[in-house]
Structure 1
Amino acid sequence: MADFGRGVLYPDEHAAMAVLDRRAPSARLAPFVEHFWNVRWNVREPYQTKVLAHPSVHLVFEEPAARVYGVDRGLFVRTLEGRGQVLGVKFRPGGFRPLAGGPVLDLADRSVPAADLFGDLSALNAAILGAPDAAAMAALAEDFLDPLLPAEPDPLAADAAEIVERIAADPSLTRVDEAAALLGVSVRTLQRLFGEYVGASPKWVLRRARLQEAAARADAGRAVDWAALAADLGYADQAHLSRDFTATVGTPPSKYART
């Protein structure tokens, strides 16, 4: 069964519908790209995938044309139909900034044709989707990106990525001022940094990490002490966690766990 990773809702159900293959980037691209991902599906009935997205930009090669997806601050939903596949490039937080042409926040909650940023990619898109396997697909995408990315990553992008990684590793980190202190900067400076490089606010990134942790606990298949988890994640009480989870996912965490 494929491990679709943190953020994918109903992962067991999802794994029955699609196959995931991840590929690490080369050392040259690693400061900018987290991984390449290839999802293939063959479904009899339309199936909706739902994802609590990470603070990352994705370049996706798909039919009918490649697109760039900014950080989705709500719930990302995609309907799979028939047989198909996509190849995605998941950029590290801050990693897409050299290609964005402006603050990454400008891409939040929307997708744009990749041609708007890179010119006509129809031939590359066809070549990638026609490649024999995920390794070949990723190699073509890497060859395309290599000359477009700078020789050295921006130190500010590295700072942004470091803070996002710290937040993801410690969901009990719940306050923006605590995150700012990790970098030794003011809250306002951290907010500007995230708008320019990450594409979402520090407050959103903190909240998203907590929601992903709550979903991961529910998906683990073990009984969850929701009141204790709410306290661990910095919520005022269980009701606060339930309201926050329901507002994004559409169902309370206890009901999500039973489903």
Structure 2
Amino acid sequence: MDSSFKGILYPTRLPSFGRFPAPPQVHHLVSWFWIPEWDIAPGRSSRQHLIAFAACNLVVQHDGVELSGPTTRASHQDLSGKGWAVGALLRPAAVPSFTSRPADLRDGRLMIDAPDLLAHVVEVMGKETTARGAEAAAVFAAWLLERVPQVGQEALLANAMAESISNNPDLVRIADVAQQLSVSTRTLQRLAVKYVGLSPSALIRRRRLQEAANQVRTHPGLELAALATQFGYADQAHLANDFQRFLGFTPSSYQKSLTAPL
């Protein structure tokens, strides 16, 4: 599945968005870097609706660096004026270097003291070149490698847990994930809380919702009953209940909104 915009509910409304792969040397710390840029007319704003990935993001903007914690529901970001952000979707292994309790950051943010990272990224993003996004990602990667030079085996196991859940749609129960990683469900629960800040079941649910929403967006004529079956829901009603509870809307209303005029 093309996941370039997975997690973004209305990608056609993005002013500009780039995603850059993490260099091999920081692949254990970052899933990828993401860079939106915008220039909104005076007096107007652009609201970006998200089903964020179940992870922490480290984000640099012109006025500071912040750690954005894992979210428990759909969210939005209002853009106005002219600006940019350079974000790193952190893998679980990187999280303890910035917070010892990611669960305390659910749906929240924490300012990070990183003046050197801020200065270097601001300098790069101020350049009038088409390659500045890739350069900013490289600067960010080098800084992370200095900040988090080594991670332990437990942290790497947390990475494996998150990757298994994210990439394997057949894993629909916590026991399935535990069996694949040859650990107990209790170990899985502990890793998820310590390194992500959400439960394993929340990680599984987020993947299913993201993928279901992505299918609705990319296949306009899709029957919702078939979608529910595809993602392991008992029926369409259960799918709709999950959408309503965690995203604030039903699959059918989302389907209609995709073709509504801006």
Query: Quick one: which amino acid aligns to residue 6 of structure 1?
Result: K
Q: Is 1:206 the counterpart of 2:201 in the alignment?
A: no
Deviation per CA, 1:50-90: give whole Å up to 9, x if none.
Answer: 11111221111114321111111211211011211111112
Kept in 1: contact 2:67–2:110 (CA 8 A): yes
TM-score by length of 1: 0.87
Q: Secondary structure at the match of 1:235?
A: coil
Hey, what's the Cα distance between the residues in 2 that align with 1:21 and 1:234? 32
Q: Structure 1 residues 103, 131: CA separation in 2 closer, same or farther (over 3 Å shift)? A: farther
Please report how far the alpha carbon of residue 101 of structure 1 lies from its aligned counterpart in structure 2 after TM superposition: 4.0
Hey, what's the Cα distance between the residues in 1 that align with 2:56 and 2:45? 26
Query: Quick one: which amino acid aligns to residue 38 of structure 2?
Result: W
Please report how far the alpha carbon of residue 98 of structure 1 lies from its aligned counterpart in structure 2 after TM superposition: 4.0
Q: Secondary structure at the match of 1:95?
A: helix
Kept in 1: contact 2:4–2:19 (CA 8 A): no
Hey, what's the Cα distance between the residues in 1 that align with 2:243 and 2:170? 16
In structure 1, runs of 5+ residues without a counterpart are none
Identity %: 32
Length, aligned pairs only: 250
Hey, what's the Cα distance between the residues in 2 that align with 1:145 and 1:98? 13
Query: Quick one: which amino acid aligns to residue 22 of structure 1?
Result: R
Q: Is 1:76 the counterpart of 2:72 in the alignment?
A: no
Kept in 1: contact 2:31–2:90 (CA 8 A): yes
Please report how far the alpha carbon of residue 9 of structure 1 lies from its aligned counterpart in structure 2 after TM superposition: 0.2
Query: Quick one: which amino acid aligns to residue 119 of structure 2?
Result: A
Please report how far the alpha carbon of residue 131 of structure 1 lies from its aligned counterpart in structure 2 after TM superposition: 4.2
Hey, what's the Cα distance between the residues in 2 that align with 1:79 and 1:208? 22
Hey, what's the Cα distance between the residues in 1 that align with 2:118 and 2:245? 38
Hey, what's the Cα distance between the residues in 2 that align with 1:84 and 1:174? 39
TM-score by length of 2: 0.86
Q: Which residue of 2 aligns with 1:41?
A: 38
Hey, what's the Cα distance between the residues in 1 that align with 2:161 and 2:53? 13
Kept in 2: contact 1:59–1:68 (CA 8 A): yes
Alignment match of 1:25 (pick from 12, 19, 22):
22
Query: Quick one: which amino acid aligns to residue 20 of structure 2?
Result: R
Alignment match of 1:176 (pick from 174, 177, 180):
174
In structure 2, runs of 5+ residues without a counterpart are 258-262
Q: Secondary structure at the match of 2:87?
A: strand
Q: Secondary structure at the match of 2:25?
A: coil
Hey, what's the Cα distance between the residues in 1 that align with 2:253 and 2:46? 20
Query: Quick one: which amino acid aligns to residue 233 of structure 1?
Result: F
Hey, what's the Cα distance between the residues in 2 that align with 1:22 and 1:194? 25
Deviates more, 1:228-237 or 1:208-217: 228-237
Kept in 1: contact 2:60–2:86 (CA 8 A): yes
Alignment of 1:123-202 (within 5 A): 123-124=119-120, 126-132=122-128, 133-151=132-150, 153-202=151-200
Hey, what's the Cα distance between the residues in 1 that align with 2:115 and 2:194? 23
Q: Structure 1 residues 228, 172: CA separation in 2 closer, same or farther (over 3 Å shift)? A: farther
Q: Secondary structure at the match of 2:64?
A: coil
Kept in 2: contact 1:58–1:91 (CA 8 A): yes
Q: Secondary structure at the match of 1:40?
A: strand
Q: Is 1:6 the counterpart of 2:38 in the alignment?
A: no
Hey, what's the Cα distance between the residues in 2 that align with 1:8 and 1:239? 23
Q: Structure 1 residues 193, 148: CA separation in 2 closer, same or farther (over 3 Å shift)? A: same
Q: Is 1:103 the counterpart of 2:101 in the alignment?
A: yes
Hey, what's the Cα distance between the residues in 1 that align with 2:65 and 2:121? 6
Q: Which residue of 2 aligns with 1:60?
A: 59
Query: Quick one: which amino acid aligns to residue 155 of structure 1?
Result: Q
Deviates more, 1:178-187 or 1:121-130: 121-130
Kept in 2: contact 1:114–1:121 (CA 8 A): no
Hey, what's the Cα distance between the residues in 2 that align with 1:19 and 1:26? 22
Kept in 1: contact 2:72–2:246 (CA 8 A): no
